[in-house]
Structure 1
Amino acid sequence: MEYKAKVIAGLLTATCVFSIIALILSAVNVKDVFLPPGTKYGLVFDAGSTHTALYVYQWPADKENGTGIVSQVESCTVNGSGISSYADDPAGAGASLKPCLAKAMTIIPAEQQRQTPTYLGATAGMRLLREQNSTKAEQVFAEVTKAIREYPVDFRGAQILTGNEEGSFGWITVNYLLDTLIKFSFAGKWEHPQNTEVLGALDLGGASTQITFQPGVTIEDKNTSVLFRLYGTNYSLYTHSYLCYGQTQALKRLIAALHQQAQRSVRRGLPFGEEGDVVFTITLLPQAFSGFYYTFSFLNLTSQQSLSHVNATVWDFCNKNWSKLVETFPENKEHLHTYCVVGLYILTLLVDGYKFDEHTWSNIHFSQKAGNTDIGWTLGFMLNLTNMIPTEALELVKGQQPSLWAGAISFIVLAIVTGLVAILLQCFWKSK
């Protein structure tokens, strides 16, 4: 009997010792730590003149100097033409958005969907429709609003972006993706890059074209100036949008002309050279995207070839036999007839309009994406918007080193096991 009592006492003593050790380990070197920031999501529809796309973005809730570190999660191209093409069928415009919205709902966690800010920004196609028939434009917006509100998101409205907004948001996208606004340093933190020149942005859409850059001098015309504060730094930009000088609108004026006459027709119609708009552009390091990229990519001219090479390539394409082109590019038959005229138009726009020459042409980079992110106005729009979305406070918790925590857990387990063994032995011996 005395032996049994000693065994039980020994087990209970071990249980107490293990518990005390676990308590000591759990209290040693405890520090206040912040949990990693949560993730916020945002949705932006780019309702262009020729098509609509939905972009899903995310960013850490804590932000950097007031601006989010935004990344693209997904993109979805809406079937059909741009929403302005539904002027006589506004309900169709709303219905066309639903498949992409449904796809976005599979990406954003259900518990965050109702807090996800969602926007629709329409560009030059809707600007033109509003000028031609404001009633039809309002009906299209009413239907797309109705469709988006069927989904559990924080819809904050559909609006027509001004040309200057479209151009300046595209500038933000380009410079953010190419690390001229903020960069993750070797020190493991986000910093403003030193001695890095910001880039210009050239955008060619279906109904308008935009040029945006930081001129380095005071912009006297307030209609072409915009100010942004991003990651704690102020940027004063020159931006100008030319409505009706996108490639689709240009094609409408030029498609009936012979290719040899097209270049002269464009030159007569360009609006440049009257206001001194582009006197700074020869110093730009611009990124040319959207229509600039798609046409020159087809012509294999996106590798910074010389201006003389580009000019020769475009004219060589224009002089090819049509039946031979169809035979060579059967998969591009739908758009094949546009590449000659648009190629000539781009050359005229950049050379005669923006005054790039053989020396400065090599500065232009024709791009569609940077990394896995599409270049366009939507990311810049979302980045600028994060300035106005409140930062979530980080959650403060008590934490300790993993080794100490693991040791405390181990001794807790030992204390429980020895205590249970003592109880079981006591019960067994009593039953005997």
Structure 2
Amino acid sequence: MARISFSCLYPVSWHFSVPPISPFARRHLAFLTLFILVFILMLIPVTDLWLRRSGAQKDRQFEKYLARVGDLEATDTQNPSLNYGIVVDCGSSGSRVFVYFWPQHNGNPHDLLDIKQMRDQSSKPVVKKIKPGISVMASTPDKASDYMFPLLSFAAAHVPAEKHKETPLYILCTAGMRVLPEREQMAIIEDLVRNVPLKFGFLFSESHVEVISGKQEGVYAWISINFVLGRFDHIEDDDEAVVAVTVGNLEEFILRKRTVGIIDMGGGSLQIAYEVPSSVTFSSPEKEEAAKAMLAEFNLGCDLQHTEHVYRVYVTTFLGFGGNYARQRYEDMIFNETVTRNRLLAQETGMRPDSPYLDPCLPAELTDTVERSSQALHLRGKGEWDACRQQLEPLLLRSNASQAYMNGVYQSPIDFTNSEFYGFSEFFYCTEDVLRMGGEYNSYKFAKAAQDYCSMTWSALTQRFHSGLFSSHADQHRLKYQCFKSAWMYQVLHDGFRFPYDYPNLRTAQLVYDREVQWTLGAILFKTRFLPLRDIRQESNRPAHVNWFRVSFVYNHYLFFVCILVVLLAIVLYILRLRRIHRRQARLAMLDLWMEEAVPTTPAPGI
């Protein structure tokens, strides 16, 4: 044993013994040192990649935003790996064709296709619209393919010719075709199925043309907005809003990103769609049947065996609840009430310009006339927004005091503590065009701004309009009915759909990431959801080392932890081995000492 002594200024010494290191132990120590150095060299790039992956969540979200903004660039049609799809929206007033494209699927069965709207060399969306709607072909259904020819020729000119045979074409008809008798609908569809393939080489069959319901249209719109917002992506950040969703039986649930609901108020109708995370129970079979008509459950995954992508969405349309139609219903109501009151009280209120009906829903001093049944009701604005709201209450047609469903239609419960909504069309126009409050919705600020607007005189409003103080989209019609429409929007939201007045997660919008989001995007996403299986099979047939490289790169954080466990296990095994070697050497030393003491020493000769 070597003895080492350390002395300092004080008269104290410390002594400890260092056991001699055997050559065998030195070899093991050299091997361990080399192993640790190799591990550190391997760990540095893996750790760096893992830290960048885990510590740059916000940066990736911003990169996704930039990527979506980059979608506004021209599509590279020279790229042979791109695929294309076409959707024709056959509406009531006209038809529009949309061309989409997407790269090869990434091979992850939990991801949707990355579908984007195609843009021409000028970076403009590849869209073409014709008028009138296809329903005008009801009398001449054999001309339906001729009606469709300009739209499909336009799409064919933008999709590379060598891609036509593998480009799916979907012709989806909405409100205009729904009102036609089924016999006339089928005659138009039969002509399209028979003659479109004779003129165009797209992937098109009988299942690719249909008259979709309002429920389907609402589901496609819901898919579109959530896809663009990235709500079908995997959870990557602890700060992301998530929701627990029950799938199948009530005991099974999954945790995923919170989707957004949509409320869209047009001129004639109102539509709402949102995810229902929890299964709903009903007190009677009749209520359950009524609710099933408004609940759509579907799987967006490419494999129906996986339940991670099962969504349950409530969607319904309220006809006559749009902004313009609601105003007509309101005018009908006040006209009938005024005529009845005049008859009972022998009055002529509203029947002459000098004794107008004072309308709280029109700006102060504004005059208007409502004509019904060859009679005219003269109106004069009173500009009282709160009184207007109260007067609109009967137009919600709520069923009864206990349920208070708007228009008597069942509404699935909304978890207002963990939900998010986007308001489109009239919700955006009411908040932005005049009040300049589009974006995050605050009911208290909105109500105050609407009250102030309604109380202003018509002459003051027109002066502000000519001074350019309102949005460029605002016109005389908007100024005239802004007071009514803002009150109607407010009532629908808070008394109809029962949103809390302090609800913080409603945003009104017209564009998402600077582009208009159409339901046709959701339609092609849903129609092509099984296509990734083809790319996944191709990926699985690649050589094993290629697949391992992908796995090791994508899941590098798993590799990081595995490496740590391997090194810790190696160190533990090495320490145990050294202990065994040390104990064996100690036993051998003790045995040698015992033998030396046990064997007597032979005296030297001659002593």
Q: How far apart are 1:309 and its partner, in Å? A: 2.4
Q: How many Å separate the matches in 2 of 1:44 and 1:335?
A: 34
Q: CA deviation at 1:344?
A: 3.4
Contact 2:170 2:209 in 1 (8 A): yes
Within the candidate set 122, 133, 137, 2:173 is matched to 122
Letter in 2 for 1:242: F
Q: Is the deviation greater in 136-145 or in 51-60? A: 136-145
1:77–1:100: 8 Å Cα contact kept in structure 2?
yes
Q: Match for 1:280 among 391, 403, 414?
A: 414
With over 3 angstroms needed to count, the CA separation of the structure-2 counterparts of 1:289 and 1:77, relative to structure 1, is farther
Give yes or no for contact 2:226–2:232 (8 Å, CA) kept in 1.
yes
Structure-to-structure mapping, 1:336-351, within 5 angstroms: 336=478, 339-351=482-494
Shift of 1:354: 0.9
SS of 1:280 mapped into structure 2: coil
User: What is the deviation of 1:282?
Assistant: 3.0
Matched, 1:370 2:512: yes
Matches within 5 A, 1:158-169: 158-169=209-220
Q: Tell me if 1:202 matches 2:328.
A: no
Instruction: Tell me the alpha carbon deviations over residues 285-331 of structure 1, each in whole angstroms, 9 at most, x when there is no partner.
Output: 11222443344332323221421322343455555527547745787
Instruction: Report matched runs for 1:128-143 at 5 Å.
Output: 129-130=179-180
C-alpha separation between the residues in 2 aligned to 1:83 and 1:320?
A: 45
1:44 aligns with one of 64, 78, 87: 87
Displacement of 1:125 in angstroms is: 4.5
What residue in structure 2 maps to residue 59 of structure 1? 102
Residues 1:223 and 1:145: Cα distance change in structure 2 (over 3 Å)? same
Q: Aligned partners of 2:146, 2:202: CA distance in 1, in Å? A: 17
Change (3 A) 1:349 1:48: farther
Give distance in 1, aligned partners of 2:447 and 2:142: 45
**Counterparts of 2:273 and 2:143, CA distance in 1:** 34
Separation (CA, whole Å) in 2 of partners of 1:263 and 1:144: 49
Aligned residue pairs total 356
Cα pair 1:163 1:242 within 8 Å, conserved: no
Which of residues 305, 311, 314 is equivalent to 1:235?
311
SS in 2 for 1:68: coil
CA distance in 1, matches of 2:93, 2:142: 18
Equivalent residue number for residue 306 of structure 1:
442
Alignment of 1:6-405 (within 5 A): 38-49=81-92, 52-62=95-105, 64-65=108-109, 67-73=112-118, 74-76=125-127, 78-80=129-131, 83=134, 99-127=150-178, 129-130=179-180, 150-156=199-205, 157-182=208-233, 196-219=257-280, 220=288, 221-231=291-301, 232=306, 233=308, 234-254=310-330, 259-260=361-362, 263=389, 266-272=392-398, 273-274=404-405, 277-280=411-414, 282-283=416-417, 284-299=419-434, 300-317=436-453, 321=458, 324=463, 327=466, 332-333=474-475, 336=478, 339-360=482-503, 362-371=504-513, 373-389=515-531, 391-392=534-535, 394=538
Structure 2: distance between partners of 1:317 and 1:91: 54
Residue 176 of structure 1, CA deviation = 1.5
d(CA) in 1 for partners of 2:449 and 2:194?
A: 48
CA contact (8 A) 1:117 1:155 kept: yes
**Contact 2:128/2:151 (CA < 8 Å) preserved in 1?**
yes
**Which one is further off, 315-324 or 141-150?**
141-150
- Shift of the 292–227 alpha-carbon distance from structure 1 to 2, 3 Å rule, reads same
Do 2:424 and 2:509's aligned partners in 1 also have CA atoms closer than 8 Å?
Answer: yes
Question: For the residues of structure 2 that align with 1:52 and 1:341, how far apart are their CA atoms?
Answer: 32
Contact 2:439 2:509 in 1 (8 A): no
Decide which moves more: 209-218 or 259-268: 259-268
Secondary structure in 2 aligned to 1:167?
A: helix
- Over 3 Å counting, the alpha-carbon distance change for 1:216 and 1:332 in structure 2 is closer
The answer as to whether partners of 2:128 and 2:154 remain within 8 angstroms in 1 is no
- Cα distance change, pair 155–195 in 1 and its aligned pair in 2 (3 A): closer
Q: Evaluate the alpha carbon distance shift between residue 308 and residue 93 of structure 1 in structure 2; reply closer, same or farther with a 3 A threshold.
A: farther
Q: Which runs of 5+ in 1 are unaligned?
A: 1-35, 187-191, 401-432
- The normalised TM-score by structure 2 is 0.49
Deviation, 1:126, is: 3.9
| Distance (Å, rounded) in 2 between the aligned partners of 1:177 and 1:81 | 30
- Asked whether the 8 Å contact 2:329–2:395 carries over to 1, the reply is no
* CA–CA distance in structure 2, aligned partners of residues 48 and 325 of structure 1: 37
C-alpha distance in 2 between matches for 1:377 and 1:325: 37
**Shift in Å, 1:364:** 0.7
1:289 and 1:264, CA in 2 relative to 1: closer, same or farther beyond 3 A? same
Q: How far apart, CA to CA, are the structure 2 residues paired with 1:334 and 1:99?
A: 36
**Is the CA contact (8 Å cut-off) linking 1:247 and 1:342 kept in structure 2?**
yes
Distance in 1 (CA, whole Å) between partners of 2:416 and 2:143 is: 45
| Residues 86-127 of structure 1 deviation map (CA, whole Å, 9 limit, x = unaligned) | 878989987776554443223211111233222233334543
* Aligned counterparts of 2:203 and 2:487: Cα–Cα separation in 1: 44
Q: Secondary structure at the match of 1:57?
A: strand
Asked whether the 8 Å contact 1:255–1:341 carries over to 2, the reply is no
Letter in 2 for 1:288: G
Q: Do the aligned partners of residues 91 and 184 (structure 1) sit closer, same or farther apart at CA in structure 2, a change above 3 Å counting?
A: farther
Residues 441 and 508 in structure 2, CA contact (< 8 A), matched pair in contact too: no
Q: How well do the aligned residues superpose, as a CA RMSD in angstroms?
A: 4.3
Does the aligned pair in 2 maintain the 1:181–1:230 contact within 8 Å?
Answer: no
Answer yes or no: is the 8 Å Cα contact 1:78–1:97 preserved in 2.
Answer: no
More deviation in 256-265 or 373-382? 256-265
State the structure with more CA Rg. Answer: 2
| Structure 2 equivalent of residue 10 of structure 1 | none
Amino acid aligned to 2:312: S
In the TM superposition, residue 60 of structure 1 has moved relative to its aligned partner by: 3.0
Q: Which has the higher contact order (CA 8 A, sep 6+)?
A: 1
Change (3 A) 1:100 1:349: farther
AA matched with 1:269 = L
